[in-house]
Chain A
């Protein structure tokens, strides 16, 4: 009895220590240089390596297994353990892996996840081990894994995507608008939204999206100071942009529910046939039609307004990896031109390797709207830019969104909302 009790006390004490440790670890990352690899590119590649992807099972199981098999064949003696995590809760999963010191050797991380981990010296600077990185991958992709104030590249860019515009031809016809010649700038979009509202007696909507950081970037507004320490988007230009949205909302050009809508709200409304415009990736038509077959043949794609956004996914290597050589080799192998091109042919994403640019698969349409959309998206990639800096995530993102919707609802002035958003975002940045 007594012995059992003392065991319990001991385990409680152990738990206490680790808990106090959690969240209060050492903070020695003041001047982050990033973790440098301890092996060079020529090191021998062999042994065990773990590889974590995000929501690729079961659709791409055979593709990933094929790549792994090819890797193991190319480097005899290696063995890859593949983990695929479900789509939901991936940030919490990676977070708990990171705080337990158990990041897989190679992990699929979007740039904002990688930023936080790199700040804690948890990721390797892969460029230091692989001098060819800049030569072989497109600039935008590599830059997404380089951060202000930090030295290094913290992931191999894997696949890219961008948004283009989609228009509902039926609704355009109903409003007397020409879907072959859709709006090309924000002001044209506003004018078309007014026409659609007026011509249909307020029954149909064109726009259903609140402005965000990406729209500010597109309007030439500087989001972050050069040293990355302060937010700067509370300018009069930004306020003027918000004013335009507010007036459109007030005039009834946008459905009122957008003030509460969740992410991807406009594409859902578009799929439901409630609005005539949305943005989406190069494969969006298939999804619209699958969920709402009545849209078949009625969706017309066109290039994004202004600068198209660039979305990047990448593979990062854990600084704690016990097998850095194999981990780097695997990350490089999965993201090489050949494997990415094969991946891009089974799902609508675009390779981040320069060699893929000449592949006719991406640049020639077979004439269907689906194929047109893919080619449009591929062409857009060339001028696409990351519109939202990776420091804006989580609470910062939510808070900015709340202030913007408050301004659109007309409860406070646009400038006051922006000032509040910047103040709060700065507070979170320097916490």
Chain B
């Protein structure tokens, strides 16, 4: 095959690889170096050996953050893998006005954090929409502390993530649905398969690869959740900082002039190992599924 010389694939890959190395990989190596230092954002620091990692072991907030991250992932994963797919199927069909709906469903993804915070605080605060409705219906006697109880705050943040994620993953699914092609659906319809059957036997296998990719993305972003918890806790991580995520801790430690970049870097490394595990599991699943 004289058309494909050995370097052809590399020519195609090099630009992306170069970006990856300069803007992702190298800063990450720098992070690893910093994690053994007591560096500040300006003025530097010096090597302190494993001191940061020792501190990590006794960091109560980190334990809460890790627990929160795992809960986050376990709850988000099923919801966000399935609901956006259903939504994609719902808006896939051409109906009058469908462009409007497709666009509208995407708006939470691009809404500004300030507005999202205002709305959700309005919905969730002591005299907010949810508590108001529930009290009127007599479901509860006093308001539920959605924004000040450690676990309810976490739950509220998870709902916010799911709400924001719907539109985002919907459009990835939509593109994948487009690739499935209509012939298969038609063939199945001709064969008398109802909508549910077609969904299970045509749609789902057709987007299987995408589903795996999306579940990887969901678990990674659940473990690295930041803005939702930040918004709902007003940036403070809830009472005692027990509603922090690892990324919020990293942000707290690295912010400002007196930030502790060394410790923040050590936290980043913990986060890296925590995220790699579910990714490897899902990637393995993918391969096994493909071979079967």
Contact = CB atoms under 8 A, between A and B. Distances in A.
Q: Do chains A and B touch in the complex (CB under 8 A)?
A: yes
Nearest to A259: B148
Q: Tell me which of A16, A260, A401, A412 has the highest count of chain B C-beta atoms within 10 A of its own C-beta.
A: A260
B260 A8 contact: no
B145 to A, nearest CB: 5
Nearest to B117: A262
A23 B261 contact: yes
A86 B145 CA distance: 35
Contacts of A391: 258
Contact of A24 (B18, B33, B147, B233): B33
B286 interface: no
Interface residues of A, number: 55
Contact of A16 (B18, B26, B235): B26
B237 A402 contact: yes
A403 B33 CA distance: 31
Q: Tell me which of B44, B45, B233 has the highest count of chain A C-beta atoms within 10 A of its own C-beta.
A: B44
B253 interface: yes
Q: Tell me which of A256, A258, A411, A427 has the highest count of chain B C-beta atoms within 10 A of its own C-beta.
A: A256
Contacts of B233: 260
Contacts of A403: 240-241
Nearest to B125: A257
Interface string B33-49: 11001111111111000
Interface string B17-39: 01001100011001001100111
B44 A401 contact: no
Interface string B257-288: 11111110000000000000000000000000
Contacts of A256: 126, 143, 145, 147-148
A13 to B, nearest CB: 10
Nearest to B37: A24
Given A257-B126, A260-B238, A406-B239, A393 B257 contact: yes
Nearest to B34: A23
Contact of A95 (B22, B237, B257): B257
B257 A15 contact: no
A411 B150 CA distance: 11
B102 to A, nearest CB: 32
A interface SS class: helix
A61 interface: no
Given A261-B234, A402-B236, A431-B38, A23 B257 contact: no
Contacts of A117: 42, 257
B222 interface: no
Contacts of B255: 91, 394-395
Contact of B46 (A27, A394, A409): A27
A260 B236 CA distance: 7
B240 A405 contact: yes
A398 B39 contact: no
A286 interface: no
A143 interface: no
B236 A95 contact: no
A72 interface: no
B37 A262 contact: no
A24 B33 CA distance: 9
A261 B27 CA distance: 34
A26 interface: yes
B205 interface: no
A23 B148 contact: no
Contacts of A15: 22, 26
Contact of B256 (A27, A262, A394, A399): A394
Contacts of B126: 255-257
Contact of B257 (A12, A113, A428, A431): A113
A95 B260 contact: no
Nearest to B231: A262
A265 interface: yes
Contacts of A119: 43
B153 interface: yes
B252 interface: yes
A95 B25 CA distance: 23
A19 B236 contact: no
Interface string A391-431: 10111101101110110110110000100000000011001
A64 B26 CA distance: 43
Contacts of A431: 38, 40, 260, 262-263
Contacts of B26: 12, 15-16, 19
A395 B258 contact: yes
Nearest to B27: A19
B234 A260 contact: yes
B232 interface: yes
A335 to B, nearest CB: 23
A406 B240 contact: yes
A34 to B, nearest CB: 14
Contacts of B235: 262, 398
A120 interface: yes
- What 6 pairs across the A-B complex have the smallest Cβ distances? A394-B256, A406-B240, A116-B257, A262-B234, A25-B44, A402-B241
Given A402-B238, A409-B239, 19 more contacts: A19-B30, A20-B30, A23-B44, A116-B40, A256-B145, A257-B121, A259-B148, A259-B239, A260-B238, A394-B258, A396-B258, A398-B236, A399-B241, A402-B237, A402-B240, A403-B240, A403-B241, A405-B240, A406-B242
16 contacts: A23-B34, A24-B34, A112-B257, A116-B256, A122-B42, A256-B126, A257-B126, A260-B147, A260-B148, A260-B232, A393-B257, A395-B259, A406-B240, A409-B148, A411-B240, A427-B55
Interface of A: 8, 12, 15-16, 19-20, 22-27, 29, 91, 95, 98-99, 112-113, 115-117, 119-120, 122, 255-263, 265, 391, 393-396, 398-399, 401-403, 405-406, 408-409, 411-412, 417, 427-428, 431
